[in-house]
Chains A and B, each alone.
Chain A
Amino acid sequence: MQRTLAVLRYVAPKLIQFAFVIWATYTVTFLLIHLLPGDPLLAALSVKGGDATTTDPETLAVLREKFGLDGSLWDQYLGNFLAALRGDLGVSIATGQPVDAMIARALPNTASVAVLALIFGVVTSVVLTFLAFLTPSRWVRQTLLQIPPLGVAIPAFLSGLVLVSVFSFGLGWLPASGTRNPAAVILPAITLALPIGAIFFQVFSSAVLDAMRSPYVFTAVAKGVSPRSIFLRHVLRNSLLPSITILGLLIGYLAGGTAVVETVFSRDGIGRLTVDAVLARDATVIQGVVIVVALVYSVVNLIVDVSYGVIDPRTRGALSGRRSVGSAAVPAVASAVVSAPAGASAPATETALTEAGTES
């Protein structure tokens, strides 16, 4: 009983934060769409119909009701939010289809690219850091550590187009576009993995450097443990932990990055859906996509937060009711490490990300 209470005390604030993020994202999007000049319905209709746009008040009133854009702003705000809570995201102004069905169709395509990109990025970062750690040459190490930050500066459309020209049109190894061929997921995933891996690398490698200076590594060296097993058995485990924190933030980055990548590779997915919705000025679809992205982002961050307690033995003290020193110390260590590269060698995206990490 006491244990469930302790778990509840640990999880409850995180659940409240979870609900807040989704509500606030909805509110911010709603305000942006409705307070910016222009009527969302008329804007969407004029894109769709050109000069043939209907201006008949009765037809407009019917359409307004259909798309949930009728009544006062407050009614719309509350009505759409309650509908969204029930899982009803409304009807697309441009296509007339239910928004939730459109998103459900697009989500698996985006998820497969995002997950693969995350795997590519994380594995490459770990391998590069491992090689940099093992090499005896200072020069090779410096070079290896300098490569990944380039990934943040490469525009995704450039790397995507280069990959397409080389591997699809040049060598003919991989399909250039579409979603039907399972191999079509590889090139978009590599394109997305570049910035993702670069951001992860900076946090991970500074965590490794931090762990290297710790007493347990000193002891292991003194005992004569080989560098390889020091890295695999001591350093890797201790530096992956703080790196997990930014995984949640990377999800946000992935959601933005897919818009460009899915356009380059002509894939159906959340990014493409968003771009098309903005082109058609389709307010209901935009609102729906933002809610879903916020939901995914919050779920991942919730899992990361809670998994901290499972992965790190030091935080378990808090779960079993005892107040341990470790529980307070670990988030502090994580945020210190996460914020460490900001001053030294962080491209801007990363600073923004790490700042999000330090205070959460």
Chain B
Amino acid sequence: MRNLQKPGVIIAGLVLLAALAAMLVPSLFATHDPFEGVAADKLLPPSESYWFGTDHLGRDVYSRVVYGAYLSLVSAGAAVLVGVIVGAIVGLISGFVGGKLDFVVMRFVDVLIAVPGVLLALIVVAGLGFGPWSVALGVGLGAAGSFTRIMRSQVVRIRNEEYVEAARTLGVKWPSILLEHVLPNSAKPVIALAALELGTAILAVSALSFLGFGAQPPTPEWGALVSSGRDFVATAWWLSIIPGAVILVVVLAVNRLARLIGEER
């Protein structure tokens, strides 16, 4: 509760709430149709009727940003989910089994962490084809290495705890030891990392969409919006700078709240 008195946390919370609301019910917040433009109103600077200005087809940039929240945030969330699931399973098994398997798996995880995330995501996208979901899968696999490492270190710590030993002595089978004792007790650091990774995932997903591998036009997506405004940056800066600034604000908010989760653990 004390955290609610910090102004930074309150602002971050409000930003995140607004982003989630825009993601769930964009029609409530949008002032215009995100796909239909008014040709006469093209490339207008921000004004009272067009808050973020209009693009080269006369579409309202603000409404496109609102509608873009869905793809940007959902695919970033999916990426973190992929990372957590893959990382948790591999880390759980590798840490629990131990020995040679653990050694070999962790050396591959070292490599997975060493390969830059964007590059890894690009390889996945090249194999699977373009689209927001292959981007999410690629970014998620890039994050899986860190999750595996954290999960494994927790499992190795818990494996020798007395209650695990007790369960083993009582004849509990190892799959239920993993699910009922090891997994719940090692979840906290993984959740904290997942919160931190969400900000990175939003950045990575929007970077890949910016490069043209995510949502294809005319679907609105934050990175794609920045990219489509790039041709007009000399004359109509608001087309790419404002959606870019929205990404920045949301990432800052997510990171602030993630740090809060990290501190509480």
Residues of chain A having any CB pair with chain B under 8 Å: 20-21, 24-25, 28-29, 32-33, 36-38, 40, 43, 150, 152-158, 161-162, 164-165, 169, 252-253, 255-257, 259-260, 263-264, 274-275, 277-279, 281, 283, 286, 289-290, 293-294, 297, 343, 345-349, 351-352, 355-356, 359-360
Residue B211 CB within 8 A of the other chain: yes
With both beta carbons as reference points, the residue of chain A lying nearest to B111 in the complex is identified as: A24
Q: Mark B112-142, 1 if CB is under 8 A from A, else 0.
A: 1111111100111111110000000000000
**Residues on the B chain within 8 Å of A264, using CB:** 230
B-side interface mostly: helix
Q: CB distance B262 to A260 under 8 Å? A: no
Q: Which of B40-48, B62-70, B202-210 contacts the other chain?
A: B202-210
Ranked nearest first, the 7 interchain pairs of A and B with the lowest CB-CB distance are: A256-B116, A36-B127, A158-B244, A256-B118, A348-B196, A348-B200, A24-B111
Is there contact, CB below 8 Å, between A278 and B241?
no
* 19 CB < 8 A contacts A-B: A21-B111, A21-B114, A38-B129, A43-B129, A155-B251, A158-B244, A158-B248, A161-B240, A162-B241, A256-B116, A275-B122, A283-B126, A290-B119, A294-B114, A347-B196, A348-B193, A348-B199, A348-B255, A356-B110
User: What separation, in Å, do the CA atoms of A81 and B244 have in the docked complex?
Assistant: 41
Provide the residues of chain A in CB contact with B223, threshold 8 Å. 155, 157
State the CA gap A24–B195 with chains docked (Å): 29
B178 at the interface (CB under 8 A from A): no
Closest to B212 in A: A279
Residue of B nearest to A195 (CB): B203
User: How near does chain B come to A262, taking the closest CB pair, in angstroms?
Assistant: 10
Q: Is the CB of B110 within 8 A of A360?
A: yes
Taking chain A's interface residues, is the majority helix, strand, or loop, or is none over half, making it mixed? helix
**Alpha-carbon gap, A158 to B146, bound state (A):** 27
**Cβ B237 vs Cβ A165 within 8 A:** yes
Do residues A346 and B199 form an inter-chain contact, with CB atoms below 8 A?
A: no
Contact yes or no, B200 A294, CB < 8 A: no
Which residues from chain B contact A355 at a C-beta distance below 8 Å? 113, 146, 149-150
Q: Is the CB of A290 within 8 A of B115?
A: yes
B107 at the interface (CB under 8 A from A): yes
Bound Cα distance from A259 to B203, whole angstroms: 14
Q: Which of B117, B245, B263 contacts A158 (CB 8 A)?
A: B245
Q: Distance in Å from the Cβ of B196 to the closest Cβ of chain A?
A: 4
Q: Determine which of B227, B240, B258 lies in contact with A348 in the assembled complex, contact meaning CB atoms within 8 Å.
A: B258
Query: Which listed residue (A157, A259, A263, A360) contacts B122, Cβ 8 A?
Result: A259
Which residues on B sit within 8 Å (CB–CB) of A164?
233
Asked if residues A169 and B199 are in contact (CB atoms below 8 Å), the reply is: no
Chain A residue at minimal CB-CB distance from B210: A157
Q: A256-B116, A257-B118 are in contact. Are A275 and B127 (CB under 8 A)?
A: no
Task: Give A336 Cβ to nearest chain B Cβ, in Å.
Answer: 15
A259/B211 in contact, CB under 8 A: yes
Shortest distance in angstroms between B143's beta carbon and chain A's nearest beta carbon?
7
Asked if A155 contacts B233 (CB within 8 A), the reply is: no
Contacts of A356 in B (CB 8 A): 110, 113-114
Identify 20 new A-B residue pairs, CB closer than 8 A, beyond the known A153-B199, A161-B237, A359-B149: A20-B111, A21-B110, A24-B111, A25-B111, A28-B111, A32-B123, A32-B124, A37-B127, A38-B128, A153-B251, A155-B210, A157-B240, A253-B116, A260-B210, A275-B212, A281-B126, A290-B119, A346-B196, A352-B145, A356-B110
Task: List residues of chain A with CB within 8 A of the CB of B203.
Answer: 153, 155
Interface string of B160-204 (1 = CB under 8 A from A): 000000000000000000000000000000000100111110010
B52 at the interface (CB under 8 A from A): no
Q: Does B234 contact A (CB under 8 A)?
A: yes
